[in-house]
Amino acid sequence: MDLSSLTIKKLAQGLGEKEFSCEEMIGAYLGNITKNDKTINAFMSVFDKEALAAAGEIDALISRKEKLPALAGVPVAVKDNILVKGKRTTAGSKVLDNYIAPYDATVVEKLKREGAIIIGKTNMDEFAMGASGEHSAYGLTQNPNNPDYAPGGSSSGSAAAVSADMCLCALGSDTAGSVRQPASICGIVGMKPTYGVVSRYGLIAMASSLDQIGPLAKNIEDAKILFDIIKGRDKMDSTSCETGRELEEAPKEIKNLKIGLPEECSGRGIQKEVRDILEGSIKKLAGKGIKIENISLPHVGYGVSCYYIITPAEVSSNLARYDGIRYGMSKSGDELLDVYLNTRGEYLGEEVRRRIMLGTYILSAGYYDAYYLRAQKVRTKIIEDFRAAFKKVDLILTPTLPTLPFKLGERLNDPLAMYLTDLLTVPANLAGLPAISIPAGEAGGLAVGLQFIAPHFQEESLFSAANFFENEIAPRHS
């Protein structure tokens, strides 16, 4: 079975016309996992028995000629910081090595309701802190297209699993670009919705004001189908919101859209090969009649600095619960403080400890105003920059990453260089905006993605532009 060209619609068509059974299709994906994942290490756990049993139920529905749900038989991988009831969920950390999820995350519940088959949980940088897939306590993930290169992070396993045909699509979480960045590097589509449009209930928190669950897929159509299933208000998440009438409205005709090109995101600091692909794409868009306008986002260059003040502060608060007392792993000590120190020292990785210490310092007496409060003011400036820009243009186009993909180990001992990977993706998180990364080309055999950013709740326009780009500007042939 050729899994590389399979899409959600083709899968439904194939099942309906009995070109293959659901069990055969799931068996093919499980076979790919068995064959390839020993080296790629995309999966933390694979639910082979449950997946085949669920496939058998889909086949039974087909044999009875019953109506199939929207995602019937679609094999979906789920990042290991999103809860799946009864399954181990570690968030890539040894401190949760023995944690079994007591309930389904809202997004998982919605997928199951529509007939999706959860094929397994995917590897990730520990507690989503990383941009390379090298910070998991369970071993690094390889880029399936270029084994010497990092797959990006923190949703490294989800992106690698989709790219290597080990699932049809996947869920990840995006705090600074953790869906879009590995999607770009692995040559697939990754989308971050407007903050609050997708419920975070059942997502293990990293930075609660930034985290957002989003889909990874091989094409725009599949990403949109997945997004349409998981979006919506959830009473279990007080930060979730109604999708808004904007999401239900038909988008503008693509040729009536005006696309903004921020000068801060296409000049200094952008590697030449990446800039060449951006400029080539802009010429093609202009040749199709799309209006391109140069704009400015004056404070966007402070995004990474701002992010690495706000995020460690929220991390230090969110990760306080991993103390060896309430749940997860525990290491004994003579006194209560020893239990805390021994547990966290033993089971939390270096990058996680670094951010907890930074955050604790940032929030300590005498430093809150100097760091955290000032970073929040900069965040407001970045939001205002986007508001002003969207009065002039409908969408914003940037590279997803400022550089080409980097090799495994290349930035492991240089945290600052690793943090700068988020330069172009983090502003959308700080502003709560929807954004999508689309494959745009290759340089030296390495995938390069471009990113569209839209105003709040304008996912329909985002997908419309991305679909046009995929079909007219950078078409790919399987």
Task: Note if 79 is an active site residue.
Answer: yes
Q: Which helix (H) or strand (E) holds 10?
A: helix 8-16
> How far, in Å, CA of 81 to CA of 206, rounded?
10
Q: HSE-up of 250 (CA within 13 Å, CB side)?
A: 3
> How far, in Å, CA of 197 to CA of 458, rounded?
11
Q: Across the beta sheet with 213-217, what order do the strands follow?
A: 43-46, 117-122, 75-79, 169-173, 213-217, 189-192, 435-443, 446-453, 395-399, 258-262, 291-295
> How far, in Å, CA of 271 to CA of 255, rounded?
29
Q: Is 150 exposed, middle or buried (0-12, 13-18, 19+ CB in 10 A)?
A: buried
Measured from the Cβ of residue 467, the count of other Cβ atoms closer than 10 Å reads: 18
Q: Is 184 exposed, middle or buried (0-12, 13-18, 19+ CB in 10 A)?
A: buried
Burial of 219-233, coded b for 16+ CB within 10 Å and e otherwise, reads bbbbbbbbbbbbbbe
User: Are 173 and 212 a contacting pair, CB within 8 Å?
Assistant: yes
- What residues have CB less than 8 Å from 183, skipping those under 6 apart? 152, 159, 189, 190, 216, 400, 437, 449
Rounded (10°) angle between helices 303-318 and 350-362: 100
Residue in 313, 306, 310, 315 with CA at minimum distance from that of residue 427: 306
Residue in 254, 263, 232, 213 with CA at minimum distance from that of residue 429: 213
Task: Note if 154 is an active site residue.
Answer: yes
Give Cα separations from 75 to 2, 92, 170 (angstroms). 15, 22, 8
User: Are 52 and 23 a contacting pair, CB within 8 Å?
Assistant: yes
Handedness of CA 375, 381, 385, 387 (dihedral sign): positive
> How far, in Å, CA of 436 to CA of 172, rounded?
13
**H helical segments located in 319-425:** 336-347, 350-362, 374-389, 415-419
Identified catalytic residue from 93, 132, 136, 154: 154
Identified catalytic residue from 93, 173, 178, 266: 178
Rounded (10°) angle between helices 22-40 and 48-63: 160
Identified catalytic residue from 21, 79, 136, 316: 79
Q: Catalytic site residues?
A: 79, 154, 178
